């Protein structure tokens, strides 16, 4: 996660994919928000955001490459807004390797608070740059899929995609 100034103005565009319509906001390769399909409505977006098709072309291209299985990591500048604890959790999420999972407890330990599994879950739920900050890679202690803002079927699809790409291509 890069620490940088939030771009102004913030542009957004809708990106149709085979998984549904994502919303990306920022300024091309600087991403301040990524909303999963069926989790956002244009009328509920911040008033200061401006719709500008093509404004997020780099982020949109990387999203499409990820979904196609040809991209394992993103090279965008990510600028999430959150509390210091949330930022530490989201930073830890970025260390989860593609095609693997970890638990809420492991992330809590990684951020220095082993008893904060539930707080990690809440931070995961508030991840403003979903998918790009891979909150979908966090599962329950028993190995089960647990809540995901985009729904468990989408989480399962993303994890299956990553497993299949990892199994079929080295490195």
Q: Give the model confidence (pLDDT) of 143-160 as tens digits.
A: 999 888 889 999 999 999
Comparing 147 with 98, the larger pLDDT belongs to 98
Peptide bond into 71 cis (omega under 30): no
Q: Has residue 34 got a pLDDT over 90?
A: yes
Confidence at residue 5, expressed as pLDDT on a 0 to 100 scale: 67
Contacts of 127 (CB under 8 A, 6+ apart): 80, 90, 93, 133, 135, 149
Contacts of 77 (CB under 8 A, 6+ apart): 2, 4, 29, 30, 31
For CATH 1.10.10.10, the residue range(s) in the chain are 82-162
For CATH 3.30.160.70, the residue range(s) in the chain are 11-77
**Confidence at 170, pLDDT banded by 50, 70, 90:** low
Which residue in 96, 135, 139, 159 is the catalytic one? Answer: 135
Q: Would you say domain 82-162 falls under CATH 1.10.10.60?
A: no
pTM value surpassing 0.85: yes
The verdict on whether 135 is a catalytic residue reads: yes
Q: Has residue 54 got a pLDDT over 80?
A: yes
Q: For residue 16, how many C-alpha atoms fall within 13 Å in the half-sphere facing its CB?
A: 1
Mean pLDDT confidence for 100-107: 96
| H or E element that contains 102 | strand 102-103
Q: How many whole angstroms from its chain centre is CA 48? A: 22
């Amino acid at each position: 996660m890069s620490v940088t100034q939030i771009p102004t103005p913030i542009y957004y565009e809708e990106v149709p994919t085979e998984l549904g319509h994502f919303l990306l906001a920022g300024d091309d390769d600087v991403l301040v928000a990524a909303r999963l399909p069926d989790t956002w409505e244009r009328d509920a977006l911040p008033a200061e955001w401006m719709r500008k098709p093509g404004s997020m072309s780099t982020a949109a291209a990387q999203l499409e490459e990820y979904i196609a299985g040809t991209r394992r990591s993103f090279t965008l500048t990510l600028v999430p807004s959150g509390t210091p604890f949330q930022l530490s959790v989201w930073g830890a999420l970025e260390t989860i390797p593609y095609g693997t999972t970890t638990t809420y407890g492991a992330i809590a330990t990684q951020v220095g608070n082993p008893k904060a599994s539930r707080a990690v879950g809440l931070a995961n739920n508030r991840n403003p740059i979903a998918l790009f900050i891979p909150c979908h890679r966090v599962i329950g202690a028993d190995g089960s899929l647990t809540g995901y803002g985009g729904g468990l079927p989408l989480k399962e699809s993303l994890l299956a995609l990553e497993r299949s790409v990892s199994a079929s291509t080295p490195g």
